[in-house]
């Protein structure tokens, strides 16, 4: 089974950190963990199951749709992951350890494209101006999601958490500092509460493309974010649009 390689370019610094939270060389575990976070959001967006890997009952005999590819206790990840960094160019190498079907490659391809086109990868993304990438070449480019194959693939078993779910994401077009601060003030729940509650927004206003996304945890939060964006005539795409589940937004 041959490796699949995705070559990316760092548009802004990618933070994976070390024990002292320093910027050093990229660490596979940091990139892999961030990729899994986005993959889980995509799986949930398509109606599948994705556990919280820090608090899960998934195992070999009963595991969620995300763990099917990324692994859990007693069920090893289906691929070996390596990175090869040279300046701003990074090669992501996926070496299959057992059969990875076309739906899984397509989901991984979709995840990486969402990260590159709308999101960010690595740590500290909620602090702004980290983790923006551009895909230069990809062995996954030919894999696209077929709805019937996806429906058959998603078993909807094992442990599952509700968030993050890409269906609850808002990707804001051409953000500026004013609407960044305005949304954070109007929807203060995005800021997180307490040291262990993560922020639920990201923005980039310096190098590279301007970018801003945020996500809701429940219908009430979703409606609040949508109301603010509509009321201030801010152009955006919903996660369901990015997933191909609805027509283009504003």
Look at the alpha carbons of 39, 41, 42, 47 in this order and tell me if their dihedral is positive or negative: positive
pLDDT at 19 over 60: no
Distance CA 9, CA 195 (A): 32
Pairing between β-strand 133-138 and β-strand 79-86 as defined by DSSP bridges: unpaired
Q: And the tokens for 230?
A: 């509509």
- pLDDT the model gives residue 248: 62
State the Cα torsion 67-69-71-72 to the nearest 10°.
10
Would you mind telling me the total number of residues written for the chain in this entry? 250
Distance CA 250, CA 20 (A): 43
- pLDDT the model gives residue 187: 94
- pLDDT the model gives residue 26: 85
- For residue 179, give the nearest of 138, 134, 212, 145 by alpha carbon: 212
**Distances in whole angstroms, Cα of residue 214 to Cα of each of 54, 147, 158, 172:** 22, 26, 27, 8
172-203 in b/e form (b: 16+ CB < 10 A) is: beebeeebbeebbebbebbeeeeeeeeebbbb
Spatial neighbors of 140 by CB under 8 A, at least 6 apart, are: 4, 6, 105, 106, 108, 109, 112
Kindly state the average pLDDT of the residues 156-160.
82
pTM of the predicted model, to two decimals?
0.92
The H or E element that residue 193 is part of is none
Distance CA 87, CA 95 (A): 23
Distance CA 242, CA 56 (A): 28
Residue with tokens 């350890």: 97
| pLDDT single digits (tens) 60-101 | 889 999 999 999 989 999 999 999 999 999 999 999 999 999
Res. 216 pLDDT band, cuts 50 70 90: very high
Res. 129 pLDDT band, cuts 50 70 90: confident
Kindly state the average pLDDT of the residues 215-228.
96
The H or E element that residue 105 is part of is helix 102-117
Task: Give all domains of the chain, ordered by start, each with its CATH number.
Answer: 4-153 (3.30.70), 166-242 (3.30.70.2030)
Kindly state the average pLDDT of the residues 31-56.
92
């Amino acid at each position: 089974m041959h490796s699949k390689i995705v070559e990316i370019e760092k548009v802004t610094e990618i933070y994976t950190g070390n024990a002292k939270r320093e910027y050093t060389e990229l660490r596979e575990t940091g990139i892999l963990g961030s990729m899994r976070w986005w993959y889980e959001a995509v799986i949930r967006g398509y109606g599948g199951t994705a556990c919280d890997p820090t608090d899960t009952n998934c195992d070999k005999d009963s595991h969620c749709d995300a763990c099917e590819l990324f692994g859990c206790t007693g069920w090893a990840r289906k691929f070996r992951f390596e990175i090869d960094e040279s300046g701003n160019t990074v090669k992501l190498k996926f070496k299959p350890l057992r059969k990875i079907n076309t739906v899984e490659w397509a989901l991984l391809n979709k995840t990486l494209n969402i990260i590159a086109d709308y999101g960010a990868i690595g740590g500290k993304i909620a602090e702004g101006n980290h983790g923006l990438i551009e895909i230069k070449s990809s062995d996954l480019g030919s894999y696209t999601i077929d709805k019937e194959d996806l429906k058959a693939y998603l078993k909807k078993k094992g442990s599952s958490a509700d968030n993050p779910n890409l269906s609850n994401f808002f990707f804001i077009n051409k953000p500026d500092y004013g609407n960044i601060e305005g949304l954070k003030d109007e929807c203060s729940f995005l800021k997180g509460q307490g040291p262990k509650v993560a922020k639920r927004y990201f923005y980039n206003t310096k190098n590279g493309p301007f970018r801003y996304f945020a996500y809701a945890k429940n219908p009430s939060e979703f409606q609040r974010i949508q109301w603010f964006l509509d009321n201030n005539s801010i152009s955006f795409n919903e996660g369901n649009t990015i997933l191909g589940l609805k027509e283009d937004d504003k």
